[in-house]
Structure 1
Amino acid sequence: MSPELALTELRGGLVAVLWIAGPLLLVVLVVGVLVGIIQAATQLNEPTIAFIAKAAALTVALFALGNLLLGHIVEFTILLYQRIPHLIG
């Protein structure tokens, strides 16, 4: 395997990780900022509130986007297995 081919496969893996983890991280980021603003406005600085809100939002996002994300993982894995002969020889 040439270095260029290895870097291409590594890039494909990183792009797949961004497509899978990106929406979930974005949801947690938005909820964290909103909870932070509310806590700053009400002066209620309890870290448990932020954790519970982020965990609940992540669970809802996984239920909403789980099928799409799993489809992306399966598609990437199938394409990777189909490229094995090209990677070896």
Structure 2
Amino acid sequence: MTPERALTELRHGLEVALWVGGPLLLTVLVVGVLVGVLQAATQVNEPTIPFVAKAAALTAALFALGGLLLTYLVEYMVNLFHRIPHLIG
């Protein structure tokens, strides 16, 4: 395997990680900012509120996008396994 091919495969793997983790992390980020602004406006400094809100948002996002993200990940893995003989030889 050439270094260029290895870097290409690494780039594809990082892209898949970004596509799978990105929507979930973005959901948690948005909920965290909204809860932080709400807590700052109401001056309620309870540390469990952001945790529960982020956990609930992450669970909802996984229910909504889990099938799509899993399908994307499985397609990438199947394609990678099919390319292994070409990568080695």
What TM-score do the two structures reach when normalised by structure 1?
0.98
Structure 2 unaligned blocks of 5 or more: none
2:36 corresponding residue in structure 1 = 36
**Structure 1 moving runs of 4+ over 6 Å:** none
- State the alpha-carbon separation in 2 of the partners of residues 50 and 57 from structure 1: 10
Are 1:60 and 2:41 an aligned pair? no
Aligned-pair identity in percent equals 72
Q: Tell me the alpha carbon deviations over residues 43-84 of structure 1, each in whole angstroms, 9 at most, x when there is no partner.
A: 001111000000000000000000000000100001101101
- State the alpha-carbon separation in 2 of the partners of residues 61 and 82 from structure 1: 31
Aligned residues: 89
Q: Tell me the alpha carbon deviations over residues 13-43 of structure 1, each in whole angstroms, 9 at most, x when there is no partner.
A: 0000000000000000000000000000000
Are 1:79 and 2:85 an aligned pair? no
- State the alpha-carbon separation in 1 of the partners of residues 60 and 74 from structure 2: 21
Structure 1 unaligned blocks of 5 or more: none
Letter in 2 for 1:81: F
3-state SS of paired residue (1:22): helix
1:13 corresponding residue in structure 2 = 13
Are 1:3 and 2:3 an aligned pair? yes
Q: CA RMSD in A?
A: 0.5
What TM-score do the two structures reach when normalised by structure 2?
0.98
